[in-house]
């Protein structure tokens, strides 16, 4: 695995991932993506030669809708996804309202939010377009995830508080305990 196209092919060949992506697409959300561990874990599992999929605590579906920033709407969307695929641990968040929760400047889009995720290897998203083509966004590129590098995004190096969040995630998530070949960069 060397390129963005290799990652797209990897996901396209995973029936379970494609079922999840197709389910999320049924919501017809504006500027939507399935992101973070859903994508990263598949890549790292493959690069580690795992035969079984690493379980993820949730499948993050994000979207961007400034016209309806209600948490209630997010919960309704999660319920709809559970109706479609009940065995998936769905999490739905409207990135247009996350600045209020995270006490930061507002995002301009879902991709802007992804670019500000804590780790470059997690700052990934996938979706399908109207023609069922798989699209991968990787604001910081795919080199880190493919090279098994865990590094903070620039947003998480700007302040001590954000750096502490990155460091805390490294400990809490225990990625090195799951994927032993990764190289964790400390701040």
Indicate the pLDDT class of residue 132, thresholds 50, 70 and 90. very high
pLDDT of residue 100: 81
pLDDT of residue 31: 97
Average pLDDT over residues 15-44: 97
- Report how many domains make up the chain: 1
Domain that holds residue 86: 4-147
Say what percent of the chain tops pLDDT 70: 100
Q: Classify residue 128: in a domain, yes or no.
A: yes
Q: Classify residue 187: in a domain, yes or no.
A: no
Q: Classify residue 66: in a domain, yes or no.
A: yes
> What are the start-end ranges of the H helices in 3-142?
4-12, 15-25, 37-47, 71-84, 98-102, 110-115
pLDDT of residue 103: 78
Q: Classify residue 174: in a domain, yes or no.
A: no
Residue 145, pLDDT above cutoff 80: yes
Q: Classify residue 72: in a domain, yes or no.
A: yes
pLDDT of residue 102: 79
63 in Cβ contact with 29 (< 8 Å): yes
This prediction has a pTM of 0.95
Alpha-carbon radius of gyration of the chain: 16
Tell me the average pLDDT of the chain: 96
> What are the start-end ranges of the H helices in 70-148?
71-84, 98-102, 110-115, 143-146
Beta strands in 95-171 (DSSP E): 125-128, 134-137, 149-150
Measured between alpha carbons, how far is 164 from 173 in angstroms, rounded to an integer?
14
Residue 155, pLDDT above cutoff 80: yes
The CATH number of whichever domain residue 44 belongs to comes to 3.30.460
Token pair of 143 as six digits: 């080199």
Average pLDDT over residues 51-75: 95
Partners of 61 in beta bridges = 34, 92
pLDDT of residue 104: 84
Q: Classify residue 137: in a domain, yes or no.
A: yes
pLDDT of residue 101: 79
Nearest CA to 168 out of 120, 118, 110, 108 is that of 118
Token pair of 178 as six digits: 């799951």
Q: Classify residue 152: in a domain, yes or no.
A: no
pLDDT of residue 53: 94
Q: Classify residue 122: in a domain, yes or no.
A: yes
Average pLDDT over residues 128-140: 96
Residue 161, pLDDT above cutoff 80: yes
């Amino acid at each position: 695995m060397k390129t963005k196209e290799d990652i797209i092919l990897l996901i396209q060949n995973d029936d379970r991932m494609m079922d999840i992506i197709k389910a999320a697409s049924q919501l017809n959300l504006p500027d939507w993506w399935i992101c973070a561990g859903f994508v990263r874990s598949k890549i790292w599992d493959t690069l580690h030669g795992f035969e079984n999929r690493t379980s993820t605590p949730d499948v993050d579906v994000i979207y961007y809708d400034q016209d309806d920033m209600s948490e209630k709407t997010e919960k309704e969307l999660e319920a709809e996804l559970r109706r479609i695929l009940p065995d998936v641990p769905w999490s739905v968040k409207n990135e247009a309202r996350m600045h209020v929760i995270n006490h930061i400047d507002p995002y301009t889009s879902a991709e802007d939010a992804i670019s500000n995720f804590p780790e470059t290897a997690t700052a990934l998203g996938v979706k399908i377009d109207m023609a069922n083509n798989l699209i991968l966004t990787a604001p910081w590129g795919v080199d880190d995830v493919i090279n098994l590098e865990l590094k903070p995004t620039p947003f998480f190096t700007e302040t001590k508080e954000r750096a502490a969040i990155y460091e805390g995630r490294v400990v809490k998530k225990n990625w090195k305990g799951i994927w032993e070949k990764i190289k964790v960069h400390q701040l």
